[in-house]
Amino acid sequence: MEQKKPKNISEIDELKLIYYEVIRGGSYNPKAKLYIKHFSEEESFLVLQKRIELSGFYASEGIPNEEELLKRALDTGDWTQEKEDKILEIKFLISDNEKSLLNIIPQQRGGIEMIIEKKRKELHELKQERRAFLGRGIEDLVDDDVEDYLSFLSFYRDEKFSTKYTNTYEEFQNLEATDIARLSKLLNEDYLKFNEENIKKVACMPFFINKFSYAKEDNSRFIGKPISHWTHNQNLLFYFGSRNLNVLSNTKGSPPDLNLEATPQDIVKWYDISHITLLAKQNESIVE
pLDDT of residue 224: 81
**How large a percentage of the chain has pLDDT more than 90?**
72
Distance between CA atoms of residues 89 and 194, nearest Å:
31
Instruction: Please identify every stretch of the chain with a pLDDT value under 50, giving residue numbers as ranges.
Output: 1-3, 7
Distance between CA atoms of residues 203 and 101, nearest Å:
20
- Residues in contact with 2: Cβ distance below 8 Å, sequence separation at least 6, in sequence order: 192
pLDDT of residue 206: 92
Taking CB atoms within 8 Å and a gap of at least 24, the contacts of 249-258 are 250/278, 251/277, 251/278, 255/204, 258/12, 258/205, 258/206
Q: What is the mean pLDDT of the chain?
A: 90
pLDDT of residue 221: 76
**Beta 34-37 vs 155-156: how paired, if at all?**
antiparallel
pLDDT of residue 284: 65
pLDDT of residue 213: 87
pLDDT of residue 57: 97
